[in-house]
Amino acid sequence: MTTTLTLTQGDITRESADAIVNAANSSLLGGGGVDGAIHRRGGPAILDECRRLRASHHCRGLPAGQAVATTAGNLDAQWVIHTVGPVWSPTEDRSELLASCYRESLRVADELGARTVAFPAISTGVYRWPMEDAARIAVESVRGTSTDVDEVRFVLFDDRAYEVFARRLG
Ligand code: ADP
């Protein structure tokens, strides 16, 4: 089974895919950036399910590098896969945690039976991961993961992020 990696520029909440990945924070209760956009457009059903996860399996929140799925509410997708990126550190190498976000999201996608999965550039916003390095880790992690997903689509919000990912994929 081969997985095709594709690129799109724009707002991930406008994408149509089986699963849309959210760069969440460990509270799972919403935030800014992609997270805020997904909850705004997806509606309250997503937050309701996140709250239920916090009340059951994930009472301490979701650790960095892990992933969990909920409904996608009003988004054009069946599921949102929430994953928590690491905060960039200049003194500590957290690359393995960022790679784990991509691997774990694909593992959850396989469990769900999702065939198309849209990813944002995890950790490159509020969590400040440098785009070049984040793109390298994203592409290497997806290419290095054995999955039944047919298409992994990176959805980049701005021109610069798109160009950095395009160079890395090229
Ligand atoms: P993190 O906390 O993991 O850094 P952010 O949401 O702050 O997450 O940013 C991750 C990346 O997502 C950034 O590159 C940001 O520009 C981008 N981004 C923000 N909003 C959207 C959106 N609606 N669709 C796609 N990407 C987005």
Number of domains in the chain: 1
User: Strand locations in 17-108, DSSP E?
Assistant: 19-24, 67-71, 79-84
Residue for token digits 């990912």? 165
The pLDDT, as a whole number, for residue 87 is 98
Q: What is the pLDDT of residues 59-75, one digit of tens each?
A: 999 999 999 999 999 99
**Interval 20-32 mean pLDDT:** 96
* pTM exceeds 0.85 for this model: yes
- Burial tier of 74 (Cβ tally within 10 Å: 0-12, 13-18, 19+): middle
- Whether 35 is catalytic: yes
Q: What is the pLDDT of residues 96-116, one digit of tens each?
A: 999 999 999 999 999 999 999
Q: Which entry of 11, 18, 35, 76 is annotated as an active-site residue?
A: 35
The pLDDT, as a whole number, for residue 122 is 98
The pLDDT, as a whole number, for residue 169 is 94
Provide the percentage of residues in the chain whose pLDDT is more than 70. Answer: 99
The pLDDT, as a whole number, for residue 170 is 85
Mean pLDDT of the chain: 97
Tell me which residues have their CB closer than 6 angstroms to ligand 1. 11-13, 23, 33-35, 37, 85, 120-127, 155, 157, 161
What range defines the domain where residue 158 resides?
Answer: 4-169
Q: What is the CATH number of the domain that holds 82?
A: 3.40.220.10
Say how far apart CA 64 and CA 102 lie, in whole Å: 11
pLDDT of residue 125 exceeding 80? yes
Say how far apart CA 73 and CA 50 lie, in whole Å: 12
pLDDT of residue 150 exceeding 80? yes
pLDDT tier at 46, thresholds 50, 70, 90: very high
Say how far apart CA 36 and CA 89 lie, in whole Å: 23
DSSP output for 118-161: EE--TTSSTT---HHHHHHHHHHHHHTS----SEEEEEESSHHH
Question: Measured from the CA of 85, which atom of ligand 1 is nearest?
Answer: 3
